[in-house]
Structure formats: C-alpha cells, structure tokens
Amino acid sequence: MPGKVIDVIEDGRKVVLDYFGERRKVRNDFYQLSVGDYAYAQGGFVVQKVPPDEAAEALAVWKDYLDALESIDMRLAEKGGSLRKRANFVRREATGNSACVHGIIEFSNYCRNDCHYCGLRVSNKSVERYRMSEEEIVEAAGYAIENLGFRALVLQSGEDTYYDGEKLSAIVSAIMRKHPVLIVVSIGEMDYEVYEKLYAAGARGALLRFETSNGDLYKKYRPGHTLDERLGLIRRLKNDGWIIMSGFILGLPGATLSDIASDIKLSYSLGVEMLSFGPLVPHPDTPLASATPPSFDETLDTIARARLMYPDMRILVTTAAETIGRAELSDDVEPIKAALGSGANSVMINLTPRKYSRLYSIYPGRDSDTETIADEHIFFENKIRKVVSVLRSLGRAPTDLGTP
Ligand code: SAH
Ligand code: SF4
C-alpha cells in the first residue's frame, strides 16, 4: 500500500513514510519527493511515486483493514514462553506487522563453480542447462510486475559469465524503463565492473550469501574460493550503496551450534538489510548427497534465535525452509505460517517460468518438482493467493519494512 511522505531526511536520500501512524524510513534514489507526496516502497526502498488520487483510492480500501490486521497480529503475538513465541512477540514489538513479498526469477542454471552442496555445480553433468534470453527475462519480469503485482524482484542464476555487464544491465534497464521496481541481483562473484554497470542501470539489491562464517568449512565446500573474498565483495557492495541480502546455509556438515551463532552475528555485522538463510537440502548428485539435513524444527528455532539476537532484523522465509517444511508437514501453507510465526517477516515467491524452474535444481523438492496445476498463470495466482491468505490470517500488512 502507498505511504505518505511526512519527512525528507539525510539530504534527500531517505524519506519517512507514514502508514496511518506507522512510520518507516525508506531510501529514495529515483524520485523527487516532498512532504505530502505518496509513494510505494518495497524492501526499504521507494519504487514508485503515486499520484494523490490513486493513493487516496488505495488508502480508502486499506484504512479499516489495516486496523483489523494489526489487532490479529497483536492477539497472535502475545508474550509467550517458547523460543518461537518469544521471537514472534519480539518481531511485533520491534518491526510491527509489516511484511514484504519478493518474487524471484531464475534466469540461468549454468554455473562455473563447484559448490559441494549445490545441484547446479559444474561437475553435475546430469542437469539439463538453460539460459533465458534477454527478451524472456524482461517478459517474465514484466508479467510478474504487471499481472501479478510484484514490486521487488530477484534475478538469480548460477555464476554464468555468458551474461556480461552489457547484457545484464540492458535487461535491468529494459525492466526499469517500463516499471520502476526494486531489482535485486543474485549472480554470485562476478567482476565488480558487472555490478557497477548493474547499479548504473538501476539495480539496487544484491543477494549474495556468505554461506558459512567458518573459513575452513567455506574452503572445503566452495573449492577454489575463500570466505575473505566473498566477504570483501559483500562489504564493497554495501559500501557502494547496494541493499544487501545475505546469510548462510544452515546445517552444512561440520558446522556447530557456535558456528550458527557466528553466522547470525556475521550477518548482522555486515549490515544486511535482509537476512536470508535456509537449511541444506541435500541434492542426490552432489558430494553432500548423504548429509543429514536440519529438521524444520531446527530451522524455525534458528529463525527465532536470529530474531531474539537482533530484534529489528528483516528475516526472510526462504524457499529451502519451505521445501523441507513442505516435505515434513505434507502441506504447502503451514511451513510459511510457522516461519512467520517464529520471527520471520518476509516471503519469497518463485516466479520462474515453469519450463525452466524444474531445471533450476539447486536442491530437490522445490514446488516446481511437485506441482500439478497445468495452467501457468493459475499456478502462480494460486501460489500468491496462498501466501496472501497466510499473511492475512497472521495479521501481517503490506506496509513497507523500512530501513534502519
Ligand atoms: N550462484 C549464485 C546464486 C544462486 S545460488 C550464488 O551462489 O551466490 C543461491 C543460493 O542457494 C546459494 O547462495 C546457497 O546458499 C543456496 N543453495 C545452494 N545449494 C543448496 C542446497 N542444496 N540446499 C540449500 N541451499 C542451497
Ligand atoms: Fe553455482 Fe551458486 Fe550453486 Fe555455487 S551455489 S554451484 S555458485 S549456483
């Protein structure tokens, strides 16, 4: 929903948006905004200035509804005894009932790396590889924005140098020209020049996990790479103004509870705008095929611990968490509900065209592996409806989460 600009701060770099009394600081790179204007923000970032009449119409619809959501959240997030209940209470106290939903488009499954955990690793010869054309990517993004209503999109791939800075920035420019949104790239450790071109084209988010804060484990599972290089890139991006989404894989063999605590601490110290961590889902064609993955309970407890350690963090329900939850609970709604009820406040929906999504086999058991609905549009609408109904049932509102 749109927010009303009630203050312009930090030399115009940020504005304060008001949602019927809820205030959020958001970054504004692209628009001339003054007090009294209206804007849509997503992921702590202004994505669109909204004409006053359009804003008034939208706000009339939301006004009463927002109070209703607020009271549902208040009732559900009571002070409680269990770890997860406490985390949900702390989430409410620190970040309110805001929730955001990002879409992800996986545009290539080629990868030059050989990460031990990942089904897309270069040594896995049993994957059928694909690359979406520039037109296909722009079209998929346009569909997600126009037909499905998304305002934040992650463009993800293996580390695929076929898409150089020229190609990627042309894609981002084409999307931004038509629809101003928050574009987050998740393309691995590409040359810095690629990131510079992407920034110039209007991309502002980078999803780049550090995977594990344990340097020895990192070297072992990402042959040929070091944790320092990865952290160096994340820090440089952060320093250059990128909105950082980062985190780790939960349950890599050899990682201890103390490593997990360090993983959470490192995420915080990197200044991530969004914490993204998911459980290892062992892939049969990788060296970690027979690893014991963490349970869904452990995943929820880790979300709760992260929330209790850093109350105002934005924490994503990752698709890997949903995947193991779905397998354990034989249900595709309950896992999202459980994660949002354990301290998480953001959701990611996969919007990759299905002919490609089934080939993006980072890990098995993704929804594209099990889905049965034939019509693609109905399939996506269904997914979105499920997520929206979970958010409603928990009293979460589409007011932006803001930035620190
Ligand atoms: N190639 C890019 C982006 C795609 S991979 C990169 O590596 O940054 C996105 C994320 O998928 C990785 O960061 C990793 O954390 C996660 N991932 C890979 N294999 C996984 C598995 N088997 N289980 C859970 N997460 C996995
Ligand atoms: Fe490639 Fe990313 Fe998978 Fe590693 S995790 S093999 S970099 S796609």
317 CB within 6 A, ligand 1 = no
Give the whole-angstrom CA distance, residue 338 versus residue 245.
22
What does residue 293 show for φ and ψ, rounded to 5 degrees? -80, 160
206 CB within 6 A, ligand 1 = no
Q: Which of 122, 112, 132, 41 is nearest to 403 (CA)?
A: 41
Please name the residue whose Cα sits nearest to atom 13 of ligand 1: 209
pLDDT in tens, 312-362: 999 999 999 999 999 999 998 999 999 999 999 999 999 999 999 999 999
Distance 283 CA to ligand 2 centre (A): 13
Helices 83-95 & 296-309 angle (0-180, nearest 10): 40
281 CB within 6 A, ligand 1 = yes
Which residues lie below 8 Å from residue 23, measured CB to CB, with a gap of 6+?
A: 6, 16, 17, 402
Q: Which ligand 1 atom sits closest to the C-alpha of 159?
A: 1
pTM exceeds cut of 0.85? yes
Write the burial class of residue 64 (CB in 10 Å: 0-12 exposed, 13-18 middle, 19+ buried): exposed
**Which protein residues are within 6 Å of ligand 2, measured from CB?**
111, 113, 115, 118, 120-121, 158-159, 188, 362
Query: Residue 211 CA: which ligand is closest?
Result: 1
pLDDT in tens, 155-209: 999 999 999 999 999 999 999 999 889 999 999 999 999 999 999 999 999 999 9
Q: Are 116 and 224 in contact (CB under 8 A)?
A: no
76 CB within 6 A, ligand 1 = no
Which residues lie below 8 Å from residue 218, measured CB to CB, with a gap of 6+?
A: 210, 211, 212, 225, 226, 227, 230
- What band does 391 get if pLDDT is binned at 50, 70 and 90? very high
Q: What is the pLDDT of residue 28?
A: 95
Q: What is the pLDDT of residue 350?
A: 94
- What band does 269 get if pLDDT is binned at 50, 70 and 90? very high
Give the whole-angstrom CA distance, residue 139 versus residue 155.
13
Structure tokens at 122: 């270069």
Q: What is the pLDDT of residue 67?
A: 87
Whose tokens are 């909105």? That residue is 243
